[in-house]
Homo-oligomer: A and B are copies of this chain.
Amino acid sequence: MKALEEKILKEGTVLPGNVLKVGSFLNQQMDSDFIMEIGNEIARLYAGEDITRVLTVESSGIALAVAAGIALHVPSVFAKKHKSANMPKEVYTASVYSYTHRETYEIAVAKEYIGREDRVLIVDDFLANGNAVHGLMRILEEAGAALVGCAFAIEKGFQGAGDALRAQGIRVDSLAIVDAMTDESVIFRAQG
């Protein structure tokens, strides 16, 4: 998605530790019209796939999942990171290690929101090491739901998780794939 690559070049910042900061439009602050454009693009890519649910993990994936859900006219569901007092007792859970926060956390989805009949699209803002998406995939397996594909705004191609998923035969659509980045430049993978 050319517009996303341009936005990353214009507003993104590379921080130490291979962090690509895009908080001005994609996560902490959401450029609403642009988020909806991304949602529409994801819906276009998965048109005809009979998606029944969009699944993400809190909290930076929620905005894109909501936009994709609106564009696809299907519910979006988010996995919670900590069990909260009003979390239904019946939940699917998976453990996820976060490199950013250097800790393992539990993600959980109430069983009532994902079932065997579902055809699910996983959506997230970033694909980096793939730990979060693997946690979501374990939840879908437990639920017996079908994973139709994974759509990300930005894939850190140099970390390899996206290509590993593709090698497993999983459909992965990343609207921008960063193959290398330095303080001065961000190199995108050419995509069809």
Q: What is the interface of chain A, defined by CB distance below 8 A to chain B?
A: 15, 17, 19, 21, 23-25, 28-33, 35-36, 58-59, 62-63, 65-67, 69-70, 72-78, 80, 84-86, 88, 100-101, 109-110, 112-113
Contact: A66 with B77, CB < 8 Å? no
Contact: A113 with B70, CB < 8 Å? no
A72 to chain B: which residues have CB within 8 Å? 32
A85 to chain B: which residues have CB within 8 Å? 17, 19, 100-101
The residue in A19, A23, A24, A66 that gathers the most chain B C-beta atoms within 10 A of its C-beta is: A66
What is the oligomeric copy number?
A: 2
Q: How far is the CA of A73 from the CA of B101 in the complex (A)?
A: 33
CB distance from A160 to the nearest CB of B (A): 21
Contact: A69 with B23, CB < 8 Å? no
The residue in A17, A32, A113 that gathers the most chain B C-beta atoms within 10 A of its C-beta is: A32
A30 to chain B: which residues have CB within 8 Å? 65-66, 69, 75-78
The 10 nearest A-B residue pairs measured at CB: A32-B69, A59-B59, A58-B59, A62-B62, A29-B113, A32-B70, A63-B66, A29-B77, A30-B76, A66-B66
- A-B contact list, 10 entries, CB within 8 Å: A29-B75, A29-B76, A29-B77, A29-B110, A30-B65, A32-B72, A35-B66, A58-B59, A70-B70, A84-B101
Q: How far is the CA of A98 from the CA of B151 in the complex (A)?
A: 34
